Structure 1
Amino acid sequence: MTSPPPDAFANPQKLRRGLSRIWHATGYSLQGLRAGWGETAFRQEALAAIVLVPLAVYVGRDWVQIALLAGSVVLVMIVELLNTAIEAAIDRIGPERHELSGRAKDMGSAAVLLALLLAVGIWTAAIVQRFAA
């Protein structure tokens, strides 16, 4: 018989196994998406994804380009969710200004900017290649 993990007493969710664990993890993920939907930036990116992901099938010349186009859009949404999580954790700590809190929020924002620039670069290159020939 195996002993429970050390953090099981602090977090009873760690004791779940198999389908129960998958079921509950899916529920938590959906809660996270609903919470993200409450953020204006994520909502804008999700609405853009509704247009851009199907458009990737038209713009992309092969499955690699389609995957890069669609993946870059989804990556922006992933980074936005992580940035929002960082901001929420920092805000939970307290409202007072602290240099490290500011740095954490600024780095999260910079990560979103880089993901957006990557997506714009990938889409621009694919559109130029597709329609310039």
Structure 2
Amino acid sequence: MQKNTGLKRIILAMGYSLQGLKSTFKYEAAFRQELLLAIILIPIACFLEVSQIERILLITPIILVMILEIVNSAIEAVVDRVGIEHNKLAGRAKDMGSAAVFVALGLTAYIWIEIIFL
């Protein structure tokens, strides 16, 4: 079996990444909601009269939430693929993925409150 290297590997990897984004958008309501939040908040951050560093601080956690939602969705898909019966470790893995998104959402709220309202 020949390994893909160089430009071909990069192009294939980009295709797989786009497939992952499409899959996440199609099957994960939470991702669609977070994308809507990003579509609203990122332009707001761009028009606010804040420093460049503050703008970066406003936008970064929004993107982090989306990244973690993709990872959480991947964890859930793998756990569901392994088996549908209830398993304590599987439930823990899903809960931890969800907790990561929750913490990132809290971080986003905190940063926005600190920069915009305080």
TM-score computed with the length of structure 1 as normaliser? 0.83
How far apart, in 2, do the equivalents of 1:99 and 1:27 lie?
Answer: 35
How far apart, in 2, do the equivalents of 1:121 and 1:62 lie?
Answer: 18
Deviation of 1:58 after TM superposition, in Å, equals 2.3
Aligned counterpart in structure 1 of residue 22 of structure 2, from 34, 37, 40: 34
Instruction: Name the aligned partner's letter for residue 22 of structure 2.
Output: R
Instruction: Name the aligned partner's letter for residue 77 of structure 2.
Output: A
Instruction: Name the aligned partner's letter for residue 58 of structure 2.
Output: L
Which structure ranks higher in relative contact order (CA pairs < 8 Å, sequence separation ≥ 6)? Answer: 2
Report the counterpart of residue 64 of structure 2 in structure 1: 75
C-alpha contact 1:65 1:126 (8 A) present in aligned 2: yes
C-alpha contact 1:69 1:119 (8 A) present in aligned 2: yes
Instruction: Name the aligned partner's letter for residue 122 of structure 1.
Output: I
93 and 18 in structure 1: CA distance in 2 versus 1, 3 angstrom threshold: same
Report the counterpart of residue 10 of structure 2 in structure 1: 22
Deviation of 1:22 after TM superposition, in Å, equals 0.8
118 and 60 in structure 1: CA distance in 2 versus 1, 3 angstrom threshold: farther
How far apart, in 2, do the equivalents of 1:111 and 1:73 lie?
Answer: 13
Deviation of 1:49 after TM superposition, in Å, equals 0.6
Identity level (%)? 50
Report the counterpart of residue 81 of structure 2 in structure 1: 92
Mapping 1:44-63, distance limit 5 Å = 44-59=33-48, 61-63=50-52
TM-score computed with the length of structure 2 as normaliser? 0.94
C-alpha contact 1:59 1:126 (8 A) present in aligned 2: no
How far apart, in 1, do the equivalents of 2:72 and 2:49 lie?
Answer: 29
Question: Following superposition, which runs of at least 4 residues in structure 1 exceed 3 angstroms of deviation?
Answer: none
Alpha-carbon RMSD across the aligned residues, in angstroms, is: 1.3
Gaps of 5+ in 2: none
Instruction: Name the aligned partner's letter for residue 51 of structure 2.
Output: D
Report the counterpart of residue 107 of structure 1 in structure 2: 96
